[in-house]
A and B are shown apart, each in its own frame.
Chain A
Amino acid sequence: MTGWAVELTGVTKTYRTGPIEVPALRGISLRIAHGEFLAIAGSSGCGKTTLLNIIGGLDRADSGEVLLEGHDVRLLSSGGLARLRLQRLGFVFQAYNLLPVLTALENAEFTLLLQGVPARQRRERVLKLFSEIGLNGLEDRRPGELSGGQQQRVAVARAMVTEPALILADEPTANLDSVTATALLEVMEQLNRAHGTTFVYATHDPQVMERAHRLIRLHDGRITSDVEHARLAG
């Protein structure tokens, strides 16, 4: 186990569609410490989501080394990667990706279910989290009965409820109004402060960039800047 939550060295990724090759990442090297609150920003197609996917083991790099919580993801099977994600990672997607047939509470507790946590504990932990992020009273609603903001909060609850070491969030506030987005970010910041959970965002949202402790900018698959946020760094 290294001291880094994430360690990338010379990571490349190219998408191929027939004869067409589109380089997405061109030799990314990056270290993310435990407890960081980090945003990756850049224009559409710059490689943010690809970088997030490779960090989270959802996709494999063509070359380079990816260490996640000290585990070399190249050596892990798809099952091993899934297990690592379940135990150590949380994901928040732009499109929420809730299971339409489950209630809000069942969606949020789904990762705990996969971990084998008993039903009563699952429910207690989810209800506590729901209370913190303003989802009280919505436990039994299906995703189709929730607003976009409410759905995203359920997705955040699903990612947070296992108290993972690292949460990867791909444009989490893109579909939220500013008030809801602010509330969400505050909850995430609170979790980051209280539990030392590492947050990595791929984002366009200035509010997220402003709140991030560290901001990495990508352009054409390369890191063009990597700065500590002045407000927090100071």
Chain B
Amino acid sequence: MIASLLRLAWRNLWYNPGRTLIAMTAIGFGYTMLLFVACLMAGLRQQMIESGTELLLSDIEVHAPDYYPDRPVQLTLGGRKGTEVSALVATIAADPRVRAASPRAYAYGLVSATHQSAGAELLGVVPDTEQKISVLPTRMVKGSYLTGQMPKGIVMGDALATTIGVEVGSEIVVLTPAADGSMGNDLYSVAGLFHTGLESMDRGLVVMPLASLQELLRLAPGRFHEVGIKLHDITGAMGTAGALEAQLSKTFPVRVMAWPELAPELDDYIQFNRRVTFILFFIFYLLAAMGIVNTMLMALIERTREFGMLMAVGMRPIEVIGLIMAEATSLAVASLVLGAGLGIPVLWYLQVHGLRLGGDGNTVSLAGIVVGPLWYGRQDFTAYSQAALGLAVTALASALYPALRAARLRPAEALRKV
């Protein structure tokens, strides 16, 4: 019975193929647009997260428990005694979810050249391992990145170099409050300049070898502030952070934070992005609902006599509702298939080739994060399924009113309709 009604519903759809094709194309194209939006939004989220965690912020960071958010220079991992750097990094790197880990130290100081000075964040890194958790070494525009053979070398943002009037090869003085309360200062040589596109980094970051910064801050070799971690799959960052914290806390107190905690503004943007996607979905559902209601009401007006006959020969009102709902479902399913068929090459193109942001090929800074120059899509099958389900529910809900109207028809009156 149900199969027969579905067959009848499908054939009824094609009794007026022009109208059905128009409705199907509209809904199907709308679904393609939803796939397009969902794919681009997922790509943007992914790109934002990857961009946000590829320079300074890591997927996960390990600190002393009270280090965040004030980041006092004396609060190092393992307390005043510190810890064995290589052993800690090795322990972290042994986790199969971890792709790479590297120790870091931070401070704020004054960077001075002959005539100019500027405040900057000082970052101490182990160059070899740092390159595995940050793409900063690939953003050099002049000179070269740090190596183990340049203990007094530093790299800085190109805007900062312009501000204080230095070039590659220039000497600068760095002055900073040390961990023991004294003032640390030393002379360094500019090995290279980087450009990230992020104003805060290009104008305010100086990177030097970890040992140099420890020396400047009067920190022992085992004292540093952070282990930055890059994961194989960033989507599991929160869970991995919790597991690592439980494991590492057995040795000494640590706080392991994932990027949503470290960069709440980025997480806020991700949530905002999801809400915008949902709103776009909702707008489309409304448009689709209007299209389906219109199609079904037109069909009802055209087929009033037919519904009268169906009820005359014994079809109950509930079965009339079922027939119209089956027609709406058929229309929705066929439209989804059409929309998905149109959408697959679009999704493939977005994922493989991406969209160029602007015509000049430059990157774009969004919510403090650098994205581009190409905006790649990312397959978000959850969103695609939600869109399809939402559309199916919309179709059924939209057909309900015409169906109820049909079920309330009086057979004798309906049969009189010409």
Contact = CB atoms under 8 A, between A and B. Distances in A.
A85 interface: yes
A104 B14 CA distance: 18
B11 A86 contact: no
B322 to A, nearest CB: 11
A158 B11 CA distance: 19
B313 A91 contact: yes
A205 to B, nearest CB: 20
B309 to A, nearest CB: 4
A183 interface: no
Contacts of B315: 82, 86, 114
A162 B306 CA distance: 20
Nearest to B1: A116
A187 interface: no
Contact of B4 (A90, A97, A113, A159): A113
Contacts of B317: 78-79, 82
A83 interface: yes
Nearest to B11: A101
B319 A114 contact: yes
A95 B415 CA distance: 10
B276 interface: no
A105 to B, nearest CB: 13
Given A93-B309, A101-B15, A58 B314 contact: no
Contacts of A113: 1, 4
B15 A110 contact: no
Interface residues of A, number: 30
B305 interface: yes
A97 B316 contact: no
B220 interface: no
B365 to A, nearest CB: 58
Which of A59, A78, A87 counts the most B-chain CB atoms under 10 A from its CB? Answer: A78
23 contacts: A50-B412, A53-B412, A59-B410, A79-B316, A85-B312, A85-B313, A86-B315, A87-B314, A91-B309, A91-B313, A93-B312, A93-B415, A95-B305, A97-B305, A97-B306, A97-B312, A99-B309, A102-B8, A102-B11, A113-B1, A116-B1, A158-B313, A159-B313
Interface string A50-80: 1001001011000000000000000000110
Nearest to B314: A86
A10 interface: no
B318 interface: yes
Given A101-B8, A158-B313, 16 more contacts: A58-B308, A58-B411, A59-B411, A78-B311, A79-B317, A82-B317, A86-B313, A86-B314, A91-B312, A91-B313, A93-B309, A93-B415, A102-B8, A102-B11, A114-B319, A115-B314
Nearest to A86: B314
B15 A58 contact: no
Interface of A: 50, 53, 56, 58-59, 78-79, 82-83, 85-87, 89-91, 93, 95, 97, 99-102, 110-111, 113-116, 158-159
Contacts of A114: 1, 313-315, 319
Interface in B288-326: 305-306, 308-309, 311-319
B418 to A, nearest CB: 9
The 4 tightest CB contacts between A and B, nearest first, are A86-B314, A59-B412, A101-B11, A97-B309
Contacts of A110: 313
A59 B316 CA distance: 15
B144 interface: no
Interface string B1-37: 1001000100110110000000000000000000000
Contacts of B15: 100-101
B314 A83 contact: yes
Contacts of B411: 53, 58-59
Contacts of A90: 313
A110 B4 CA distance: 10
